[in-house]
Amino acid sequence: MSEPRIRIEDALRNYAQMSPGTPWRSRCEEKAADEIQSLRQRVERLEGALRGIVDHFDKCDDGNAPGHAHSIPGIWDSDNHPAIAGKTCEWCAHWAEAYAALSPKVQEGE
Ligand SMILES: [Zn+2]
């Protein structure tokens, strides 16, 4: 069983309410720093895995995810099953989101 994780927003909220002389303030900072480091490591791991998946496929410039060829990128064609025709394709939407998440613009905003 894993140790319960602190939530960074709670640690920072508590920190903001403490006066500089509060004995627990440095402990709060330490927990916040640990949580930031843990989250950063997790993001880097997930980013690496996602980049590996995206790089596995050839670059798709037509707006569709690999293996899909919608007439309107990301939208199921009108001749598909009536339940999905004309609706957003979840696979293409996830693919587009993965690409956007790995784009330099997102990384610059860090
Ligand atoms: Zn699709």
- Contact at 8 Å (CB) between 15 and 25? yes
Same domain, 52 and 99: no
pLDDT, position 19: 80
d(CA 72, CA 78): 10
pLDDT confidence of 1, banded at 50, 70, 90? Answer: low
User: Over 90: is that where the pLDDT of 35 sits?
Assistant: no
Tell me if residue 97 falls in helix, strand or coil. Answer: helix
pLDDT, position 92: 95
Task: Name the token pair of 76.
Answer: 């199921």
Same domain, 19 and 52: yes
How many domains is the chain built from?
Answer: 2
User: Over 90: is that where the pLDDT of 30 sits?
Assistant: no
Same domain, 104 and 93: yes
Same domain, 66 and 97: yes
Distance 65 CA to ligand 1 centre (A): 6
Task: Quote the DSSP letter at residue 64.
Answer: S
Task: Quote the DSSP letter at residue 76.
Answer: -
pLDDT, position 75: 97
Mean pLDDT of the residues in the chain: 84
**Residue 48 identity:** G
Distance 61 CA to ligand 1 centre (A): 13
- Contact at 8 Å (CB) between 70 and 60? no
Distance 76 CA to ligand 1 centre (A): 7
**Which residue segment(s) compose the domain that 73 sits in?**
58-110
Distance 85 CA to ligand 1 centre (A): 11
Same domain, 8 and 36: yes
pLDDT confidence of 4, banded at 50, 70, 90? Answer: low
Same domain, 72 and 110: yes
